[in-house]
Chains A and B, each alone.
Chain A
Amino acid sequence: DAGVIQSPRHEVTEMGQEVTLRCKPISGHDYLFWYRQTMMRGLELLIYFNNNVPIDDSGMPEDRFSAKMPNASFSTLKIQPSEPRDSAVYFCASSFGWLEAFFGQGTRLTVV
C-alpha cells in the first residue's frame, strides 16, 4: 500500500476562493482523521470518521469548513470561502481500529 495519499501537496489561493483538500486513506482502515497544524495551535483534530460516518466534527472551526467521506477510499475537506487565517498544514490520517494512525504528507495551504 502506498500509505495515506493527500492532494494537493501545496495550495496557494486568494481570499474568498473555495479550497478542496483530498485524501485517500490506507485500504482497510476504518477511521479517518483530518487535522490542521499551525505553530500557534499545534495539531488540531478537525473531524473524524468511522466507517465513512462523521463521528465528531466539534473541531471544525466554522461553517466555512465541511468534510465528506462518500466511500471508504476517499475523503474531502472543503473551505468556502477561504480566509488568510486558514493558512496551515492540513493532515489526513487513517487507522484500523485503535491501532496506530498513519499520516499523509499533508497539504500546505496558503490563503493570500
Chain B
Amino acid sequence: GQQVMQIPQYQHVQEGEDFTTYCNSSTTLSNIQWYKQRPGGHPVFLIQLVKSGEVKKQKRLTFQFGEAKKNSSLHITATQTTDVGTYFCAGRGSGGGADGLTFGKGTHLIIQP
C-alpha cells in the first residue's frame, strides 16, 4: 500500500531559528496536505498542494510539492513558541481505492525559548 515517510521525527530549535520537515511517498500522489497537531489536540488542516512543483506560502510557512509529486516540504522561518506541535504530511493516491488519506508519522517541533 501507499506509504508516506516523514523526517525528521523530532526537531529541537531555538526560538527564532528556521525549521524544515520533509515528506516522501512511495507512489505518485494526486495531492498532498499538511496538518498541525498541538499537544493533546487533533490534527488541523494547514494547506493542500495539487500541482507539480507548486509552492505556497502562509506568513512564515512555505510549502513545496515536488516536480514528480512524490515529495513535499514545509519550512517555517523564524520559529515562535506558538509553532510548537507535530506537523504531518498526508497524501492521497490516484484513485482506484487508493485515495485514502495516508499520514506520515509527523515531525515533532520543540522550541527552546
A contact set with B: CB distance below 8 Å? 33, 35, 41-43, 45, 48, 55-56, 58-59, 91, 93, 95, 98-106
Give the chain B neighbours of A105 by CB distance below 8 A: 42
CB distance from A68 to the nearest CB of B (A): 17
A56 with B44: in contact, given A42-B105, A98-B31 (CB under 8 Å)?
no
State in angstroms the CA–CA spacing of A42 and B44 once bound together. Answer: 15
Please name the residue on chain A nearest to B6 by beta carbon. Answer: A42
The complex places the Cα of A91 from the Cα of B40 at a distance, in Å, of 12
Closest to B44 in A: A103
- Which applies to chain A's interface (DSSP): helix, strand, loop or mixed? strand
Return chain B residues, CB-CB under 8 Å to A56. Answer: 97-98, 100
Interface size on B, residues (CB 8 A): 23
Other-chain contact of A106, B42, B92, B98 (Cβ < 8 Å): B42
Task: Kindly report which residue of chain B lies nearest to residue A101, judged by CB atoms.
Answer: B101
Determine if A55 and B100 form an interchain contact, defined as CB atoms under 8 angstroms apart: yes
The answer to whether the Cβ of B102 comes within 8 Å of any Cβ in the partner chain is yes
Given contacts A48-B100, A48-B101, contact A102 B106 (CB under 8 A): no
- CB pair B101–A95 under 8 Å, yes or no, is yes
Q: Are B103 and A43 in contact (CB under 8 A)?
A: yes
Query: Are A45 and B100 touching (Cβ within 8 A)?
Result: yes
Q: Name the CB-closest residue of B to A33.
A: B101
For A44, give the chain B residue with the smallest CB separation: B103
Q: Check B102–A45 contact: CB distance below 8 A.
A: yes
